[in-house]
Structure 1
Amino acid sequence: MKLIVCILFVIGNISNNGKASLDSLVPMSTNILFEDTTKNADKSCYRPCKFNVKPRRCHYEFKIEPTILEDGRPALTVNGMTPGPPIHVCANDIVVVEVKNKVVGQDMAIHWHGVEQKGTPYMDGVPMVTQCPISYGSSYKYAFRASSPGTFFYHADSVHHQSDGVYGALIVNQPQPLEAHSSLYDFDRSQENTLIVAAKFPELMTANLEDSSQLKPSSLLVNGLEEDFKIFVLPSYAYRLRLINAIAIECPVVVTVDRHEMVVIATDGKPVKPVSTSRVQLYPGERMDVVVRASEKMGGNWMRVRGDGACGNLSASAMLLHQGFNYTAMLHDGKKETFAKDTDSGTQIYGQTLESIQDVPHNIVDRSLILSIDRHVLQFKDTDNDYRYISDAIPKKPFFPASLSLADKGVVQINHKSFLYPNVPLLMRPNDIKKEIKCSVGEKDQSKDPQCLLALNAQQGELLELVLLNEGFGSNDSYTFHMHGYSMQIVATMQGSDGKPFSKETFEQLDNDGKIKRNIQTPPLKDTVMVPNKGFTIVRIKLDRGGSWLLECRSCSLALPAALVVNVPESLPKSLLDSFPKCGDYRPPDVLLN
């Protein structure tokens, strides 16, 4: 009977207003029966994680709507808050979140950044890839298993919505003895010691009808504050701090703590060999766990966050305070110590230079592919273009989205292609995708359109090696990429030393000459990576489960997305497909949700 109860599917129904209801969810396992054994406990599921305790179902309701904050600034909030309510659960808990979209005229979707969605690829939160968008006035219920412990976060799929305030922390804890570095710290208070960094804009990006790429952030925030967030510690004790860069645009941040060293113990939720440093750098979407020991007998210190890239010259701060210390003296004295006194970037650590704590099996790479990334300015005449709506007609001439002609500096593309969201959700209805909008990585006979549904078709079990090559012919920018559903092995990162563009031929020559050193023994496992200007990052992905997984540079463009879908065949039961909302006559514009 228990085996019947543990069949893997989602029982859903659709109400008259298109609301998806997920009544039960069990993971891809038959040896655990999920039920809540602590009926009187806090519904938030924040608790000490213990052995031999059945996981809980953790329910949350998110209402996303425009709000005027206390400082008079408009924002999109989750339950009236930005950041939104934090989610703290234990490993193997079932997280159920009902999202209600109250933003007029806007479609919505929520991505669970770093969550691998094992057994639930349809919960990844990518509109027209894994689900229909959540339209204004409707609801959508997400449900997935927190299969891996670590520091994650959630955010709106749209860069504009995330920048306007739709983001929050998602922490998956586990019993302390299972933590790889629990001996290095005394306290892991994830609810009090998680710091989520964001950028504040002078106006709503969502409501801006002009080119929002020209809208620059005005300040940085730590947990929604510029300088008032406080971390209370006891002298001589060590604390685990969880750092999250939740900025959607290309804004790396550097974090320091005055007069304190930090020990890095994890990146993107995965443990690494401990490294001591005074400065850590996080790129958009990255997370890093560090240990800070309150070494002084009594006092307070500033924790500083400095922005780079699009957030250059911006900063925020928090206070690391000993219990009982009167921090008004810190406010009176001001922030005397500055970054100018610690400019040695050699002591600065960022995630993909770290090493995994475990050796990686020496598997043979099944395929190695080069993805050329660069900013391109497309030259074309109006007479060369077919202006019919791309979802309605088979173009007789190349289709150039309007945003291409408006982007005088060009747009970032992968293999000279911008990503086009399909006419129906790819994961749910792959056979209904219009053939004329498809294009595949590695195929020579491609559509002449600069925008298409770019896919990397693979097989389950494959070990892929992807060379993310930032050629740098059209820009001097570095780019941050996020892989949905998988952690990647970061085996190499390199930047050209001569300042010249880095072509595909240059890379192949270096590789053939054996001048590219790959760390195949202890590569860090990450879902978010930086690709340096005029350089490359090499990643390996073991495709051990099916789904349609986006590899995207969310910060590359606010007009046309730079992304591709890694397609691994997945057969979903008809009963499951029938339980989800249908998109109906929904027609995504060529800039859908980007």
Structure 2
Amino acid sequence: MIPVCQLLLILYVGFVGADSESPSNVSSLSYNYTTSNDSQTIVGAQAILNGFRFCVRRCDGRPRTCYFKLNVQLYSVLGGACRNCAFGTPSDCMRPQCITANGWYRGLITVNRQLPAPPIQVCRGDRIIADVENAMPDATVTIHWHGIRQKGYQYYDGVPYVTQCPIQPGTTFRYNFVVDEAGTFFYHSHTGLQKMDGVSGALIVRDVYDSQSHFYDDDRPDHVMFISDWTNRPAVEYLPGFNHPDISQIPDTFLINGKGMHWANNRSIDLPLAEFMVSRGQRYRFRLIGGTCMSCAVAIRFQGHRVLAITADGNLKFVPRLVDTVILNSADRFDVILEANQYIGTYFIFAESIQERCNGVRQVALLKYQGSNAYVRLPPPTPSRNLGIEFNAVESRCDGSNSNKICIGHLQGLTDAPAIGNQYYAFLFIGFDFYMFDDEDLYSPGTYQHYDEPFMGRRVKALVNNISFTFPPSNMLTQFNEIPRQNLCNSQCYSSNIQKSCSCTNFYNLPFNTVVNVIIYDNGDRVGIPHPYHLHGFNFHVLEQGVFPSTDPQNKQLMLNRMMHQLNNDNVNLRSRPQRDTISVPPLGYVLTRFYTDNPGYWLLHCHFAYHLEAGMAAVFRVGDQSLLPPVPENFPRCGNFLPPP
């Protein structure tokens, strides 16, 4: 029998002005520059560029310091700013601070009264200074910069009680870091379910030189497509869930850049839709961001157009693939090239769920050619269920039997995975599952166990290696020695012989500057869903992706044991492997990953479905020791229990 978790350490021997010329290797970008006085903000005694106004630019190799003020507050869909938007005055829907979403009145949480949060677009090498003001009356918040490794800036990863204390109501926390990697990222709250209610937005980092610029003519700032799932009531109302057959943790719709159609009584009501302009004959880079949080993957299709997929998760390149459909699971990001080669007109962009249990959730946006005056008839036509060539086919077995379903493991990356050779290495199994409560256990008087009820009658807590993760009361990165021992998982929780799951702070020690093999696998025994696993602080190579041929525990363990030995002996394909920071584990399947621990700190590994993280599907990798970390910032907030003697 393979223990559910084990760790093996084995030793074998700037801005371009009017008089400047853009570099010939940079495609054209369309920007609205500003030189007005409000392009600067006073921070302390220093004038710093207003990042929203002055840092969206053609990169020239001259880094800037870009300041962003992010005000987080409670707000409402179709509130007072929208005036008569909902009553037949479409122009009111476009007023400043009007949020329409899908036209259902509900509360939400906004950053600067925008949905999604305002896009941050900078250049590689820029310093981001982001002041997050918590204007909510009764909730804390943190901001995670998804995909940014934060190497050298570990205190700004934005995970509550792992890298910082939560930002209290009425206070401001300053994130201060340099972005040293280009690509498509995003930022979101890592506190509770806030990202589901609006605290999530695009983070785009461009570079002076892009080795893939020959694929496109234009990389427009407004060609960022942020896809979010949306419910007609606040997300927290679905936690822990309802004991009702008609209410489950399934979105009511998708939103594209915060906009969508309103459906009521089988008819649509006109609301603004997201629009993307193109000129015939040009090739455009579109940046697709899977800002979804629930377990319904979304298929993106451009009516009448195929797209060329070129990068994943930031700027992790692979040999491009021409596809009909791009599947986005939670936290996926893919950059694609669209050639505007059709007749001048207006085309639909379809976003639709691919799983039957998601009840056909869908949304549309518009792809408009310059010169098109075509009237768009709504509701849109029902798209064909034939998805053609699917990129990131998360529901596939990934065994190559269907050439129309491209999994990440099928891609040819542009870098080799690191070999172990005669070096130290570490190995981890990460098996995830759910523990199903019986009512006598869950509702026993005097016990208050956290649980989730995704649909009626299934009351569970989520597990990683038979442990349901709970956050400690103090920040692991700066106050680890102050965390009460009873909060940390004890040795029995890591034993393969333990019968009942633990609920505690689950972490694994990994040595610094070491090759690490991690097998992430679905340890369930019933039809599953593709779980998206995100690792903070690192990019990893995907060595293999597949599905277990049997759910029999003994057969599964034999296969895991064989894969472990293959990994540890470099008996796997390391050549040209794709890289990710988030990977979907196929239903009842596995992913073999490898990365190099060159980034010390405390890094969260977790399922990116928001309710699964809240239910405990997470663990922390502690890489290296405190001596490898930069100094703790002066006056860095502290937190913990207050338990004086009675």
TM-score range, shorter chain: 0.7 to 0.9
CA distance in 2, matches of 1:425, 1:42: 31
Structure-2 change in CA distance of 1:507 and 1:323 (3 Å)? same
Q: Are 1:291 and 2:322 matched, yes or no?
A: no
Q: Provide the residue aligned with 1:434 in structure 2.
A: 484
Structure-2 change in CA distance of 1:434 and 1:149 (3 Å)? same
Q: Are 1:68 and 2:76 matched, yes or no?
A: yes
SS at 2:321 equivalent: strand
Number of residue equivalences: 538
Q: 1:219 aligns with which of 253, 256, 267?
A: 253
Structure-2 change in CA distance of 1:544 and 1:321 (3 Å)? same
Q: Are 1:354 and 2:411 matched, yes or no?
A: yes
Residues 28-67 of structure 1: pairs in structure 2 closer than 5 A? 43-51=53-61, 53=62, 55-67=63-75
Q: Provide the residue aligned with 2:636 in structure 1.
A: 580
Where does the alignment leave 5 or more consecutive residues of structure 1 unmatched? 1-20, 25-34, 388-398, 588-594
Contact 2:155 2:632 in 1 (8 A): no
SS at 2:330 equivalent: coil
Q: Provide the residue aligned with 1:143 in structure 2.
A: 176
Q: Are 1:326 and 2:373 matched, yes or no?
A: yes
Contact 1:242 1:290 in 2 (8 A): yes
Contact 1:265 1:274 in 2 (8 A): yes
Q: 1:469 aligns with which of 521, 537, 558?
A: 521
Q: What is the Cα deviation at residue 185 of structure 1?
A: 0.4
Q: Provide the residue aligned with 2:468 in structure 1.
A: 418
CA distance in 1, matches of 2:256, 2:194: 18
Structure-2 change in CA distance of 1:233 and 1:445 (3 Å)? closer
Residues 226-237 of structure 1: pairs in structure 2 closer than 5 A? 226=260, 228-237=273-282
Q: Are 1:375 and 2:434 matched, yes or no?
A: yes
Q: What is the Cα deviation at residue 271 of structure 1?
A: 1.6
CA distance in 2, matches of 1:586, 1:63: 29
Contact 1:277 1:349 in 2 (8 A): no
Q: What is the Cα deviation at residue 110 of structure 1?
A: 1.0
Residues 533-548 of structure 1: pairs in structure 2 closer than 5 A? 533-548=587-602
Where does the alignment leave 5 or more consecutive residues of structure 2 unmatched? 1-41, 79-102, 262-272, 391-402
Q: Provide the residue aligned with 1:504 in structure 2.
A: 557
Residues 556-571 of structure 1: pairs in structure 2 closer than 5 A? 557=612, 559-568=614-623, 569-571=625-627
Q: What is the Cα deviation at residue 290 of structure 1?
A: 0.2
Contact 2:388 2:404 in 1 (8 A): no
For structure 1, which segment, 307-316 or 100-109, has the greater mean C-alpha deviation from structure 2 after superposition? 307-316
SS at 1:86 equivalent: strand
Contact 1:198 1:245 in 2 (8 A): yes
Q: Provide the residue aligned with 1:158 in structure 2.
A: 191
Residues 8-407 of structure 1: pairs in structure 2 closer than 5 A? 43-51=53-61, 53=62, 55-70=63-78, 71=103, 72-175=105-208, 178-189=209-220, 191-206=221-236, 211=241, 214-226=248-260, 228-269=273-314, 270-309=316-355, 311-328=358-375, 330-331=376-377, 335-336=380-381, 338-342=383-387, 346-364=403-421, 366-378=425-437, 401-403=449-451
CA distance in 2, matches of 1:121, 1:444: 31
Q: What is the Cα deviation at residue 209 of structure 1?
A: 6.6
CA distance in 2, matches of 1:252, 1:473: 21
Q: What is the Cα deviation at residue 348 of structure 1?
A: 4.3
Contact 1:481 1:552 in 2 (8 A): yes
CA distance in 1, matches of 2:106, 2:50: 39
Contact 1:90 1:172 in 2 (8 A): yes
Aligned-partner residue type, residue 540 of structure 1: R
TM-score by length of 1: 0.82
For structure 1, which segment, 354-363 or 59-68, has the greater mean C-alpha deviation from structure 2 after superposition? 354-363
Structure-2 change in CA distance of 1:476 and 1:209 (3 Å)? closer
Measured against aligned partners, the alpha-carbon deviations of 1:513-562 in whole angstroms (never above 9, x if no partner) come to: 99x98441112111111111221011112100211000011316264221
